Amino acid sequence: MTTETLPLESAKIVSDCPRLRVLVVGKSGAGKSSLISFAFGVKMESISDRARGVSDINKAIESPQNPRFVLHDSMGFEPGETVNLNSIDNFLKVHSGEAVSLEEQVHIIWLCIAVPASGSRVFETGDEQLLTLASELRGK
């Protein structure tokens, strides 16, 4: 087989699903909104160094630079806090499974973690819960 006839695997993925849905998660203040802003050229009102950012996980954020991705910015979670973690859990369940069209599914979970200081834990409890949930939902 020559390179001319070799099918491009990426072309097949793009034809099946032109836009990948990315859910950005992580502890409050980890830099989720900043990441979306810098990596995808999206102006984010919610970046703050003084207060917790407010975002709507259900809002699909489109990048003017890259039409291949659609992003969802989640509210950060804190140890002992369950509301925002529950809304992420709910969003993931709504956007996964065989009954959900391929385009509506979450394809990528981008977990943001702050680089820990020496001796600190890398993952918070919320991070660990999310990783467990994502692994349970994978392939459903």
Ligand X SMILES: Nc1nc2c(ncn2[C@@H]2O[C@H](COP(=O)(O)OP(=O)(O)OP(=O)(O)O)[C@@H](O)[C@H]2O)c(=O)[nH]1
Residues at the site binding ligand X, with contacts judged by CB under 6 A: 26, 28-34, 46-49, 52-53, 75-76
Nearer to ligand X, 12 or 52 (CB): 52
Sheet (strand 61-62) strand order = 61-62, 69-73, 20-26, 108-112
Output the six-digit token pair for 90: 């709910």
Q: Are 95 and 105 in contact (CB under 8 A)?
A: yes
Q: Which does 29 bind (CB under 5 to 8 A by kind): Mg ion, ligand X, none?
A: ligand X
Residue from 24, 25, 53, 88 binding Mg ion (CB under 5 A): 53
Nearer to ligand X, 17 or 46 (CB): 46
**Whole-number Å distance between alpha carbons of 13 and 69:** 13
Which residue of the chain is nearest ligand X when measured via CB? 76
Q: Which does 61 bind (CB under 5 to 8 A by kind): Mg ion, ligand X, none?
A: none
The verdict on 33 binding Mg ion (CB under 5 A) reads yes
**Whole-number Å distance between alpha carbons of 67 and 30:** 25
